């Protein structure tokens, strides 16, 4: 029998407490960024890891301002979001070496938006063979690396990207 290892799920299972407020609103206090899996907060956009990822390295990019619709974004926010998505792809490519990416935005509950009031892009790194019968038949995803290990790798990648002038 195969064993699926997802130790970060235990924290969710045994915890009765839920985060207050919007998960995508970073606030001013950076002391909880690691706990919240926040990798980067810029002037207009922020990046965090998906706590329940489709694949290792699944990132979420959101505007810093609490906005639920594309038409509410300023042109500056829209540009910054896309530039941040590009940076994320670059960091993921350098740190994790994926062979491709799924990048998307779910607008509205029927489109799959889990958090409707704060729009966010999903960036899912993909590798050949990263899907298998477990997902199709067992409705189970196999995530081979612990979230905290991935977080540390990606955080270093974001810091290096910014240090070498990748931040505008």
Active site residues: 120
DSSP letter, residue 18: -
Phi, psi of 95, rounded to the nearest 5 degrees: -85, -40
Owner of token pair 């619709």: 69
Separation CA 65–CA 24 (nearest Å): 9
- 3-class DSSP state of 7: coil
CA-closest candidate to residue 63, choices 24, 107, 113, 92 = 24
Separation CA 25–CA 68 (nearest Å): 12
């Amino acid at each position: 029998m195969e064993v699926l290892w997802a130790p970060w799920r235990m924290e969710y299972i045994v915890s009765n407490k839920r985060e207050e407020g919007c998960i995508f609103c970073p606030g001013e206090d950076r002391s909880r960024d690691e706990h919240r899996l926040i990798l980067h907060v810029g002037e207009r956009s922020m990046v965090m890891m998906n706590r329940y990822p489709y694949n290792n390295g699944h990132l979420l990019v959101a505007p810093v301002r609490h906005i639920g619709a594309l038409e509410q974004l300023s042109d500056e926010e829209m540009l910054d979001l896309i530039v941040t998505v590009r940076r994320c792809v670059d960091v993921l490519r350098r740190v994790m070496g994926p062979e491709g990416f799924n990048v998307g935005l779910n607008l509205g509950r029927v489109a799959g938006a889990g958090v409707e009031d704060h729009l966010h892009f999903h960036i899912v790194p993909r590798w050949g063979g990263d899907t298998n019968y477990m997902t199709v038949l067992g409705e189970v995803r196999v995530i081979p690396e612990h979230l905290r290990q991935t977080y540390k790798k990606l955080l270093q990648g974001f810091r290096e990207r910014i240090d070498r002038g990748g931040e505008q």
